[in-house]
Homo-oligomer: A and B are copies of this chain.
Amino acid sequence: MDAAEFRRRGKEMVDFVADYQENIEHRRVYPDVEPGYLRSMIPSEAPLEPESYEDVLRDVDRVIMPGVTHWLSPHFYAYYANSTSFPSILADLLSSGIGTIGFTWAANPACSELETVMLDWLGKMLQLPEDFLSETQGQGGGVIQGTASEATLMALLSARLKTVKCVQESDPQRSEADIISKLIAYTSEEAHSSVEKASIIGGVVIRMVPTDEHFSVRAETLEKMVAEDKATGYIPFFFCATLGTTPCCAFDKIDELGPICNAENIWMHIDAAYAGCAFICPEFRPLLNGVEFADSFSINPNKFLLVGFDCSAIMMWVLKGFYFFLPLHLFSTSLSPHLSSDSQHWGIPMARRFRSLKLWFVFRMYGLRGLQAFIRKHVELAKTFENLVRGDNNFEICAEVVMGLVCFRLKGSDELNKALLKQITRTGKIYLVPCKLRGRFVLRFVVCGRTTELRHIQEAWKHITELSSELLQNLFDHEGKEN
């Protein structure tokens, strides 16, 4: 395919994407396929000779589309969103077209530099303390990771290295392996599984901190655990706070937890993957009070800021001074005049796409006000859904609704709620996933779509209540028969 054909095919693909997104609400949001559906639909080997582009596109419709869960549908209420937008898609196309692999400054100066500045923009939108910014010429700054999982791992590894160095300063005989075997990390019992995964990768013990009645970690609880562990010879070194937990969007009390972490020399990382995006609105910013005690902070613009996946931003006090965790000799091949712009050392992968273009396009095409308006609309729609649930005596709300997530359930058994979810999934009109809260099976309803409107919320609720009425009626009939 040459440039001339690419012009033609590319424009067709733009129309394909536009058609897809314009008509997406008429598709079944959750696909009606069985595991293994795809293999038999395509050959078992790559073709020897080139095929026609028409055949490939036909197969997108025939093979791919029937098996897609439509994340961008207004009927999609699962997980947290892939909050993408057209400017983000354009920026990604530009990034693919330039085809750069950024890892040193020299590998693409524009890529290195725009990323640094964009994270400063983001830091200012979030009103982060100056030390998290790069422009202040301190040790801080931000870098884009693919996912929150990587951001958390990066924070944990940085904390591990810092602690090893710190312990060895007072006890030079002690081996790194011995110190690591005594390290202990903490996070909420409600935290995302990626925190535990990071601890496994880092080879350190982790303890889950119980939460209060609002699903928040409180200072007292952490303090007690830290004291216990120190008494048995452990070295508490890392606490991952969550702002906006995955199950119910709860918020750890970082303003009380931060001082303890600082006093105990515990690195505090804040995982605000979803909810952190909303801190660009002044009314939500108080939830971030206490960030000044944190060593690192990360959010996923791809979850709530109209930036397409993958894009997770991490800001650290010490990014520049720290050079992540690599020994200096690995820098010898660096060709960059400024070691400090070599993003290869600030993450698990060394190479990266030109992801900052997405931030730049989206921040500029929406403006801060446009992004705030988007967030507020989603929160408002969630409140509407909450009110609908509250107005129905068969249902209950299971956690405070702060942003775009509503946790709810049918009053009754877990089995009943599982049956309801099964019906919802089978019908395929809307898509949600469950969570466990205090051991109970709960449905999560997250406003995800960029194009989700009031009518979708109302339709979704109507659909849920119709299915639940049927269920309850069946149950009633069944119980009637049994008695």
Q: Which residues of chain A have a CB within 8 Å of any CB of chain B?
A: 1-7, 9-11, 13-18, 20-22, 30-31, 33, 35-39, 42, 44-51, 53, 55-56, 60, 63-72, 79, 82, 84-90, 92-94, 96-101, 105-111, 113-114, 116-117, 120-122, 124-125, 135, 146-147, 149-150, 153, 157, 160, 175-178, 180-181, 193-194, 196-197, 200-203, 308-310, 325-327, 330, 333, 335-338, 341, 348-353, 357, 360-361, 363-370, 433, 435-436
**Copies per complex?**
2
13 A-B residue contacts at CB 8 Å?
A: A1-B86, A3-B21, A6-B18, A10-B17, A35-B105, A46-B368, A48-B367, A50-B370, A67-B109, A68-B108, A71-B108, A92-B93, A101-B309
Docked-complex contact A351 and B149, CB < 8 angstroms: yes
Q: How far is the CA of A31 from the CA of B110 in the complex (A)?
A: 9
Q: How far is the CA of A298 from the CA of B309 in the complex (A)?
A: 24
Prevailing SS type, chain A contact patch: helix
Q: How far is the CA of A135 from the CA of B6 in the complex (A)?
A: 34
The minimal Cβ–Cβ distance linking A24 to chain B, given in whole angstroms, is: 10
Q: How far is the CA of A66 from the CA of B109 in the complex (A)?
A: 9
A69, A335, A370 interface centre (most CB from chain B within 10 Å): A69
The minimal Cβ–Cβ distance linking A162 to chain B, given in whole angstroms, is: 14
Select which of B39, B93, B201, B341 is within 8 A of A96 by beta carbon.
Answer: B93
Docked-complex contact A90 and B181, CB < 8 angstroms: no
Residues of B close to A110: CB separation below 8 A? 31, 38, 63-68
Docked-complex contact A46 and B124, CB < 8 angstroms: yes
Docked-complex contact B109 and A38, CB < 8 angstroms: yes
Q: How far is the CA of A9 from the CA of B92 in the complex (A)?
A: 13
Docked-complex contact A17 and B367, CB < 8 angstroms: no
Select which of B84, B96, B113, B147 is within 8 A of A350 by beta carbon.
Answer: B147
Docked-complex contact A117 and B84, CB < 8 angstroms: no
Docked-complex contact A99 and B348, CB < 8 angstroms: no
Docked-complex contact B365 and A93, CB < 8 angstroms: no
Residues of B close to A90: CB separation below 8 A? 6, 9-10, 13
Residues of B close to A348: CB separation below 8 A? 149-150, 153, 201, 348
